[in-house]
Amino acid sequence: MSEPGSLIRTLSGRQAARNFHSYVINEVGRAIVAGEMPVGSSLPGDAEMMDRFGVSRTVLREALKTLEAKGLVEARAKVGTRVLPQSRWNLFDRQILAWKLESGPSPAFLRSFQIVRESLEVQTAQLASENREAEHMRLLLYWQNQRMQMSFQPEPFALAEFEIHRVIAEASGNPFLRSTSAIMEFGVAYSTLARLSKDLGAPPEGLAEAKAEHYERLIQAIDKGNPVAAHKAMADVLVPIQPI
């Protein structure tokens, strides 16, 4: 069964970080999101963290600045760096969602995520049906075929499914919707992992079969320029995510 981190890296096209700066960001960020560093708690002092991660003060400070920009921590003079509540986190940030996926999102988090994902992606499908071009349709048909062909290989399958959503966002012509790829990544990765967990590996009929008809109707609606049908088909694709 695929690991969450591996699946997210497949979708985003990123390799695991190999530099010290990224290593510190990943270790501290993951620990915060997983609750290993509780809200309101203070991070260890610079000397302790430098020793723990084997990095210089400059690398540590830059990493903490990145985490502060994500809303995970807040540095205050004479107080130190403390962990902020989830309400302050940038939940549209790809790394934060990846850490959330690895730590196991709660049912409440998934319900909130589903509301946002549906509101964004049904609008995206409608706009795509009105603004799509020939190249978008070529790519959608290609990735639809890949989704079916890779039905027994979780990571290539998830990549193909994600690309369908990404191309639809591109076809929408709306730059704000195009920038929500982290939301799409999380949704595709979590739903794939949920299916694998439920069936203890790739199901006998393959991962693609469960929503094959919905995706076919979605792409047909976009091709025919039917926003009402595209809205309905995308809503059917985005069935509520069940907790793993």
Which of the 8 DSSP states describes residue 72?
S
Task: Name every residue whose Cβ is closer than 8 Å to that of residue 60 and which is 6 or more positions away in sequence.
Answer: 24, 46, 49, 50, 53
Number of domains making up the chain: 2
pTM of the entire predicted model: 0.88
Question: Which structural domain range is residue 53 located in?
Answer: 4-88
pLDDT (tens digit per residue) in 93-114: 999 999 999 999 999 999 999 9
- Given the structure tokens 């985490």, which residue do they identify? 67
Domain containing residue 26: CATH number: 1.10.10.10
The mean-pLDDT minimum among 21-25, 100-104, 182-186, 200-204 falls in 200-204
- Is a pLDDT exceeding 70 seen at residue 201? no
Q: What digits encode the pLDDT tens for the residues 16-75? A: 556 899 999 999 999 999 999 999 999 999 999 999 999 999 999 999 999 999 999 999
The CATH number assigned to the domain holding 161 equals: 1.20.120.530
Whether 116 and 183 have beta carbons less than 8 Å apart is answered as yes
CB contact burial 110-141 (16+ within 10 A = b; e otherwise): beebeeebbebbbbbbbbbbeebeeebbebbe
Cβ proximity of 222 and 171 under 8 Å? yes
Q: In the prediction, which pLDDT does 83 show? A: 97
Q: Bridge-partner residues for 74, per DSSP?
A: 82
In a domain, 99, yes or no: no
Find the helix or strand (DSSP H, E) in which 68 lies. helix 57-69
In terms of pLDDT, which residue wins out, 201 or 208? 208
Of 44, 62, 88, the one marking the end of a domain is 88
Q: Could you tell me if 39 and 151 lie in one domain?
A: no
- CA distance linking residue 63 with residue 101, whole number of Å: 21
Question: Is 119 inside any structural domain?
Answer: yes
Residues 6+ apart with CB under 8 A from 18: none
pLDDT at 15 over 60: no
What is the H or E stretch that residue 74 is in? strand 73-76
Mark whether 141 and 47 lie in a shared domain. Answer: no
Nearest CA among 232, 229, 233, 238 for reference residue 130? 229
Q: Do 38 and 148 belong to one domain?
A: no
Q: Is the pLDDT of residue 122 over 80?
A: yes
Place of tokens 């890779």: 150
Least confident of 108-117, 140-149, 195-204: 195-204
- Could you tell me what percent of the chain has a pLDDT over 70? 91
pLDDT in tens, 143-181: 999 999 999 999 999 999 999 999 999 999 999 999 999
Which residue in 201, 205, 182, 183 sits closest to 192, CA to CA? Answer: 201
What pLDDT shows up at residue 228? 98
More confident residue, 124 or 240: 124
Q: Report how far residue 79's alpha carbon sits from residue 41's, in angstroms, rounded to the nearest whole number.
A: 11
Same domain (yes/no): 131, 67: no
The dihedral built from the CA positions of residue 64, 69, 87 and 26, taken in this order, carries a sign that is negative
Predicted confidence at residue 79, as pLDDT, reads: 82
Report yes or no on 243 lying in a domain.
no
169 in Cβ contact with 178 (< 8 Å): yes
